[in-house]
A = this chain, B = another copy of it.
């Protein structure tokens, strides 16, 4: 009865498919060989229908026995503690994986997400463009010098950083060959491909159910 449960939305429009953040948790479970099931809350009224589980009305959230937690980054760090495949166990390697996980959330995504938000809102902003350039150039330099972010091997930090960097608009923002090769390398992993195709398949199954019900 202690199967780990990843909660996501029961349906989303075509645009975000393949990018809904339950994918991060599916992917981590696939990398680590942790069994899991996926359950859903309704897309309709999502802003208010699951505030008790996720106080910002977002997904995913995770249930692991008595432990419940939201924020995909927190879910990843929780899963990482269960498997050395995601997070090295030596203190120096663990610190490296932790710092790069937080860097993906707070130094890269803190710039890419608002930049993207204004871009798709039709209000691209020069100040945010400059901030994007600076942060992505720093990452490009790092990835030109090393294959993985932490401990000389794939860790949860690469999973998250690649997930942040693989957004098509972010990839298209200037030419950064080391970053591009990194994203290709990480998303070529079988665990990513499985998580990705299963998320797509879930939403396509919802399409069919909706059509049948309509």
A residues contacting B by CB (< 8 A) are 51, 55-58, 65-71, 73-74, 77-78, 91-92, 95-96, 98-99, 101-103, 105-107, 109-111, 113-115, 117-118, 121, 123, 125, 127-128, 131, 135, 138-139, 141-142
Tell me how many chains of this kind the complex includes.
2
Distance of A141 Cα from B66 Cα, bound (Å):
24
Contact yes or no, B99 A71, CB < 8 A: yes
Measured between beta carbons, the chain B residues less than 8 angstroms from A95 are: 67-69, 74, 78
* A111 to B, closest residue via Cβ: B114
Q: Chain B's nearest CB lies how many Å from the CB of A132?
A: 11
Measured between beta carbons, the chain B residues less than 8 angstroms from A99 are: 69-71, 74
Most buried by B among A66, A73, A139: A73
Closest 5 CB pairs of A and B: A114-B114, A74-B102, A71-B102, A74-B99, A69-B99
* 18 residue pairs from A and B, CB less than 8 Å apart: A51-B138, A55-B141, A56-B135, A58-B107, A65-B91, A68-B95, A71-B102, A73-B102, A73-B105, A74-B95, A74-B98, A102-B105, A105-B105, A110-B113, A118-B127, A121-B127, A123-B125, A123-B127
Measured between beta carbons, the chain B residues less than 8 angstroms from A125 are: 118, 123, 125
Q: Chain B's nearest CB lies how many Å from the CB of A103?
A: 5
Q: Chain B's nearest CB lies how many Å from the CB of A183?
A: 18
Q: Chain B's nearest CB lies how many Å from the CB of A182?
A: 14
Q: Chain B's nearest CB lies how many Å from the CB of A166?
A: 17
Measured between beta carbons, the chain B residues less than 8 angstroms from A51 are: 138, 141
Distance of A65 Cα from B131 Cα, bound (Å):
33
Contact yes or no, A138 B68, CB < 8 A: no
